[in-house]
Amino acid sequence: MIVFNLRCSKDHVFEAWFNSSKTYETQASTGGVVCPHCGDANVVKAPMAPNVATGRSRGLSEIDVENEHAIQGRKVLAKLREEIEANCSYVGDKFAEEARKIHYGETKSANIYGEATTAEERELHEEGVTFGRIPWLPRSDS
């Protein structure tokens, strides 16, 4: 997985995750990447600072570095969940059905999220429906 900072033509900056750089290029060239703030599909990569792992130079053990990576990963996923919940409509277990309606133009395009079975995911993929799969972490009580 790779994360990019992206900017829309209205100067909204947001993060997006992709399987690879090629996946981003393919989705961006077909209008499949949209700004979660305004829905603009005219997006480009925004400047971002590289993530340089310097744990060894600080004298951290390999386990400490791995734990820090896990902590940072959980923070990113929590932020992603927050953004999705704030900017998308929850459709529950009707995700596959609603995604198809949007894909085939039976309903207005909208940002949605919900659940789908593995079989539904496979069918959506075979039909060419663009969607992403995100590891949804449970909320912590702390």
- Check residue 78 and give its pLDDT: 86
Residue-wise pLDDT for 43-53, tens only, equals: 898 876 666 65
Which residues of the chain are modeled with pLDDT < 70? 48-66, 140-142
* Residue 118 lies in domain: 85-132
Please state, in angstroms and as integers, the Cα–Cα distance from residue 110 to each residue in 59, 89, 95, 106, 107, following that order: 48, 8, 12, 12, 9
pTM: 0.51
64 and 95 assigned to the same domain: no
Domains identified in the chain, total number: 2
Residue-wise pLDDT for 58-85, tens only, equals: 555 666 666 777 788 888 888 888 899 9
52 and 92 assigned to the same domain: no
Domain assignment of residue 36, yes or no: yes
Domain assignment of residue 43, yes or no: yes
Contacts (Cβ under 8 Å, ≥6 apart) of 111: 34, 36, 39, 87, 88, 89
- Check residue 103 and give its pLDDT: 95
- Check residue 55 and give its pLDDT: 53
- Check residue 73 and give its pLDDT: 83
- Check residue 104 and give its pLDDT: 95
- Check residue 69 and give its pLDDT: 76
